């Protein structure tokens, strides 16, 4: 998730959000207003995921250039038996950022008598649709979706005595966090999953040209996904963003080991948002997402700092992606 430099935050003017906007909105208006009021201009990628954004992301996962989804799926398929052995029988599975709940099917099919599945996602409509499909296909499984922002304080009902709670966090979503936020999430997850464990999927450092292609697909689906953030604002917040006045930009920042996604202003323009006006120069950007890439040593050091014990790791033959087992403190 993008973060701001402390010095920039201290010096930036604080936006004033009208009362009517605060009352009708779940934080999108506030955070978008803050993004335009501050320098650099950045907003959390969680706002990509309305119904349309979730649909576009599902399309991204099917693109030939976007290797993470099919690579992680192959790892889960190849090592399903070993993973099921580590998870153990009768587990309650909690998926953070569940989306369409497709990858978890590979896990559910391999597990021994899973007791319950709790998918958590910020997009309520998308989540309900996915949960309904799972109930239909797994009639003996207790599916209890939770529409929530899993990056915030998370409360789950207590499990039955003796039931092991196991997290599932695929897709290298951890890479969207800056290091302090990634550490905070892992610490929160260790508390929520205390006594259990977590399967964590992360994208590994690789050749920059492979990363560039994955976020700049030939069909322009990733560009549409990025621009949908502004389209969502037009739909929900009555803004008047001209989508033609912005361009999608994604590039690999090698020193920081991350892909950065931006919306670039094609011209000088005035942004009107909640009764306030902001000038945006030609070439200026709104930073919409980071996708950090990991080394195995770096990932394990981060997990151990958060209180986890690192267990087996499963990789594809090219070592492009990793599914890491983390054991929660007791």
Q: List the beta bridge partners of residue 4.
A: none
Strands 269-273 and 276-280: antiparallel
Q: pLDDT tens digits for 117-141?
A: 999 988 888 899 999 999 999 998 9
Per-residue pLDDT at 183? 96
Per-residue pLDDT at 99? 81
Per-residue pLDDT at 150? 86
Kindly list the averaged pLDDT for each block of 10 residues, start to end, along the chain of length 330.
Answer: 29 36 64 95 94 94 96 96 96 91 92 94 87 93 91 80 93 94 94 94 98 98 98 96 98 97 98 93 98 97 97 98 93
Euclidean distance between CA atoms 319 and 314, whole angstroms: 9
8 A C-beta contact, residue 120 and residue 146:
yes
Element (H, E) at 326: strand 321-327
Neighbour tally for 260: CB within 10 Å: 18
Instruction: Give every CB contact of residue 166 below 8 A, 6+ residues apart in sequence.
Output: 87, 91, 92, 93, 94, 193, 196, 197, 198, 199
Distance of CA 61 to the CA centre of its chain: 13
Domain extent listing, the chain: 14-63+210-292, 79-206+295-327
Tokens describing residue 268:
């000088």
Per-residue pLDDT at 26? 62
Per-residue pLDDT at 9? 27
End-to-end, the C-alpha distance of the chain in Å comes to: 29
Euclidean distance between CA atoms 259 and 2, whole angstroms: 11
| 79-206+295-327 carries CATH number 3.50.50.60 | no
Per-residue pLDDT at 17? 38
- Lookup result for tokens 């650099």: 40
Q: List the beta bridge partners of residue 265.
A: 246
Per-residue pLDDT at 302? 97
Q: List the beta bridge partners of residue 250.
A: 261
Tokens describing residue 44:
């959390």
Per-residue pLDDT at 159? 80
Euclidean distance between CA atoms 112 and 164, whole angstroms: 12
Q: pLDDT tens digits for 314-326?
A: 999 999 999 999 9
Distance of CA 306 to the CA centre of its chain: 19
Instruction: Give every CB contact of residue 321 below 8 A, 6+ residues apart in sequence.
Output: 67, 68, 71, 72, 75, 172, 201, 202, 203, 204, 315
Per-residue pLDDT at 22? 37
8 A C-beta contact, residue 198 and residue 164:
no
Q: pLDDT tens digits for 17-50?
A: 333 333 345 689 999 999 999 999 999 999 999 9
């Amino acid at each position: 998730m993008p973060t701001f430099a402390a010095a920039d935050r201290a010096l930036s003017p604080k936006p004033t959000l009208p009362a009517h906007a605060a009352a009708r909105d779940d934080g999108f208006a506030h955070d978008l207003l803050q993004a335009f009021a501050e320098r650099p201009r950045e907003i959390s990628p969680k706002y990509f995921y309305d119904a349309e954004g979730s649909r576009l992301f599902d399309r991204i996962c099917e693109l030939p250039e976007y290797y993470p989804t099919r690579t992680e799926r192959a790892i889960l398929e190849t090592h399903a038996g070993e993973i099921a052995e580590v998870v153990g029988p009768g587990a309650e599975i909690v998926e953070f950022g569940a989306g369409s709940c497709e990858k978890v099917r590979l896990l559910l099919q391999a597990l021994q008598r899973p007791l319950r599945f709790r998918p958590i996602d910020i997009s309520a409509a998308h989540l309900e649709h996915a949960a309904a499909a799972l109930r239909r296909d797994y009639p003996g499984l207790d599916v209890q979706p939770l529409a929530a922002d899993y990056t915030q304080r998370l409360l789950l009902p207590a499990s039955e005595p003796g039931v092991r709670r196991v997290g599932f966090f695929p897709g290298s979503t951890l890479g969207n966090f800056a290091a302090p936020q990634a550490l905070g999430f892992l610490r929160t997850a260790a508390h929520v999953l205390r006594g259990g464990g977590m399967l964590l999927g992360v994208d590994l450092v690789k050749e920059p040209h492979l990363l560039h292609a994955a976020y700049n697909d030939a069909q322009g689906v990733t560009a549409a996904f990025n621009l949908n953030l502004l389209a969502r604002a037009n739909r929900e917040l009555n803004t008047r963003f001209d989508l033609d006045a912005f361009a999608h930009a994604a590039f690999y920042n090698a020193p920081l080991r991350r892909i950065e996604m931006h919306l670039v202003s094609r011209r000088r323009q005035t942004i009107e948002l909640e009764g306030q006006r902001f000038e945006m120069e030609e070439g200026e950007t709104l930073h919409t997402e980071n996708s950090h890439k990991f080394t195995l040593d770096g990932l394990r050091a981060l997990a151990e700092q958060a209180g986890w014990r690192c267990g087996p790791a499963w990789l594809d033959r090219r070592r492009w992606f990793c599914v890491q087992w983390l054991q929660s403190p007791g």
